[in-house]
Chain A
């Protein structure tokens, strides 16, 4: 947007504006940096306070303790498993549904559409869902991470909108060649929809990675604990972690960690994947949100 700065007041405004925005950015990012510093700082030294941006007594112990702790490693694997499985299956099925709903001739299209849109507003409540999952025998199983969140209407709409804007000629030439709908879907629509599918895959992956409520409400076994859930438990200090013992044996020296210091390390570990995909989220999501905002 081009505007001519006529008044010196405008320039002052610009400077103050930029200054305040920088403060906002600092307030947003600084807490992360502080946790990062604390995670690399010796536990006893950290509890004395005064760590702001850099570690004072550098140590890798907090991280090393995490990596030899079986419970944490298992939780990490569970998180990875549910993120990968959940996100991939979700994208595939959501895309299938979106494609079928993008075709005008689908029988019952209007009703199916309405049904899915309503799911965005319908929330039966915690206890009814609890009962449902128990009845379906997915309570306290890995499936409770995958099945309930299989299709999100919001994402389906975004994908469907995208597919509706694809040129019909793509499909038509395939149909003329005798392909059926499934073949057209897998061989033409899916490859062509890569941008939107990548976006939704990312969003779903982030959602799964961050999710811990389903662990809390719908599982009971420690084998199903995810990384976020374990982090949450440590936060509440309802788990007494005898963290140091195993690593002490390996390192042959006294290791001092506290729940607080290990918490810092786990927090960073849980945040790093988000940071890794952040540039991609950046790149793709504006389109996705724009599509959703305009159409929705």
Chain B
């Protein structure tokens, strides 16, 4: 039944008036007031900046604006690919993202499975509550924490290693370039495992208990049940999150993965392993004001990210037999 007050405004004589657009709009003028301004806002803040991609094909001059700046075609893209740093940056970006992708799509699942096996609800809630605390804290705080914990002077890790006699001198964790990726991998999962586990826990909790009862009747122990019932049931969730992860490997929606670790934990000694696309764009774009070049790099990143997510989606359909997200 349609909302009576809206589309039918009856003439006193009982004859319905024309439902012109203006009349409908007038009837819902307050609803439009509560929506249209924000639609305009979204257009301005999300869609208008896309025109900025044109800067990638120009030698953009802020004084002249987009309309007045000269066009240079693919000059900046070529410069980026030819840059000796290109390989290094791509390697670093992909390495960190890849490691992150693996860790964040496996460990939280295991954590969720483990939490699911806990019978005492207070213990389960307690562990869970602690586990997602790091998610709510900013990466600046997390970086502070780990730079301190692993510090050569007051860091507890060095303290323990020295006490145990495993090393003679304090170890500068964050000065070792080859170690950088793995430190970042650990810190990222430390921060996010508890939070990510929630999604899997939610998925697990929606599994029909009768499946488990049938499993018990068939004589299945805990591991069997996990392997044959729980995991297959949450496979769609895992696959969807995996696809999203892969799609974000270059095109991180979240700066927490693509920018923060490298910017906050990297230093001049580890920069060859720490510099990633987002820090590169920041350095060249905002700090050195090479707007067009940085825009080109950013555009490259978005395009590759898009390709990745489509590829991952197709691969998921083929290899896992699951519905992708597209």
Contact = CB atoms under 8 A, between A and B. Distances in A.
A269 to B, nearest CB: 10
Interface range on chain B (Cβ under 8 Å from partner)? 35 or more
Interface stretch (A5-13, A60-68, A80-88): A5-13
A122 B158 CA distance: 44
Contacts of B285: 126-127, 130
A290 B206 CA distance: 11
B47 to A, nearest CB: 7
A35 B145 CA distance: 7
A21 B32 contact: no
B34 A1 contact: no
Contacts of A119: 42, 46
Given A115-B42, A126-B285, A129-B49, A181 B30 contact: yes
A97 B49 CA distance: 22
Contacts of A7: 221
Contacts of B85: none
B154 A38 contact: yes
A185 B33 CA distance: 12
B45 A132 contact: yes
A106 B145 contact: no
B52 A125 contact: yes
A136 B43 CA distance: 14
B148 A34 contact: yes
B233 interface: no
B38 to A, nearest CB: 5
Contacts of A93: 38
A105 B42 contact: no
A232 interface: yes
Interface in A115-147: 115-116, 118-132, 134, 136, 147
Contacts of B156: 34, 51-52
Contact of B6 (A1, A105, A232): A105
Contacts of B155: 49
Contacts of A6: 216
A240 interface: no
A292 B55 CA distance: 36
26 contacts: A7-B221, A17-B114, A21-B114, A21-B123, A28-B130, A28-B133, A46-B154, A49-B153, A96-B34, A103-B28, A106-B35, A107-B21, A115-B39, A128-B50, A128-B298, A130-B291, A132-B44, A132-B49, A147-B45, A151-B38, A181-B31, A206-B136, A260-B151, A267-B144, A270-B141, A289-B198
Given A129-B52, A289-B202, 7 more contacts: A1-B116, A103-B31, A105-B7, A125-B299, A127-B285, A132-B52, A278-B133
**10 residue pairs, one from A and one from B, having the closest CB atoms:** A128-B52, A124-B49, A210-B138, A181-B30, A125-B298, A100-B35, A128-B49, A100-B34, A96-B34, A127-B295
Interface of B: 3, 5-7, 21, 24-25, 28, 30-35, 38-39, 41-53, 55, 62, 111, 114-119, 123, 126-127, 129-131, 133-134, 136-138, 140-141, 143-149, 151, 153-156, 158-159, 162, 190, 193-194, 198-199, 202-203, 209, 212, 216, 221-223, 251, 253, 255, 259, 264, 278, 281-282, 285-286, 291, 294-295, 298-299, 301-302
